[in-house]
Structure 1
């Protein structure tokens, strides 16, 4: 679907380029009829044609960028929200399981370890 949208956008940009080039040729003929030098009118037409081609390439690049951005957005964030990471609570703790962060009271003391600071954590019966 994105490729089809990109093709349609490219075709619209190409049509706009052809209209701009046709307008430049018509202006060249009008300038020649008004008595402007032939070389000056031709140079102005060439400048307008080059500008139309530059605009076409810019539009095509923008269409490619839009397509890549849309493709990357779906890969980064997932389509069903699969990659949702827990947000830490005000105390710095991550909620476990289905715990919510709305009923957690802010901590008033330190958030350090519960075992003695100078000693080792409690050992198990295995060692």
Structure 2
């Protein structure tokens, strides 16, 4: 379910980015049309290019946030394993101390 949610969020981000790019293109065209000099036209082109780049950067940032939000929902649900391949280290704290009686079973406990 989480991946479907992320996909939908990514599609929304893509749609927003396309709208922003279209808006930047329109602003660039109107800027070029109203420009009186060659320098102003070039500046309008550069502004449109910068707006498009910013829209793409915003989309990538939103997608990264979607992945981070999805990952936080999945982490922390498993019990961490100890040692290599889930084995407890020899002589480590994962074993009860000798002579404490911890971890020993009586004959009646075995067959319950």
Q: Answer whether TM exceeds 0.5 for this pair.
A: yes
RMSD after superposition: 1.5
User: May I ask how many residue pairs the two structures share in their alignment?
Assistant: 76
**Is the Cα–Cα contact under 8 Å of residues 31 and 44 in structure 2 kept in the other structure?**
yes
Alignment of 1:83-94 (within 5 A): none
The structure 1 segments of at least 4 consecutive aligned residues displaced by more than 4 Å after TM superposition are none
**Residue 11 of structure 1: CA displacement?**
0.4
Alpha-carbon separation, structure 1, partners of 2:41 and 2:32: 6
Alpha-carbon separation, structure 2, partners of 1:42 and 1:30: 10
What is the aligned partner in structure 2 of residue 63 from structure 1? 66
Alpha-carbon separation, structure 2, partners of 1:33 and 1:61: 37
**Residue 63 of structure 1: CA displacement?**
0.3
Alpha-carbon separation, structure 1, partners of 2:19 and 2:52: 10
What is the aligned partner in structure 2 of residue 23 from structure 1? 23
**Residue 34 of structure 1: CA displacement?**
1.3
Q: Is 2:46 the partner of 1:43?
A: yes
Mean CA deviation greater in 34-43 or 17-26: 34-43
Q: Which runs of no fewer than 5 residues in structure 1 stay unpaired?
A: 78-127
**Residue 33 of structure 1: CA displacement?**
1.7
Alpha-carbon separation, structure 2, partners of 1:19 and 1:12: 11
**Is the Cα–Cα contact under 8 Å of residues 21 and 51 in structure 2 kept in the other structure?**
yes
Alpha-carbon separation, structure 1, partners of 2:78 and 2:9: 25
Alignment of 1:98-117 (within 5 A): none
**Residue 65 of structure 1: CA displacement?**
0.2
TM-score by length of 1: 0.57
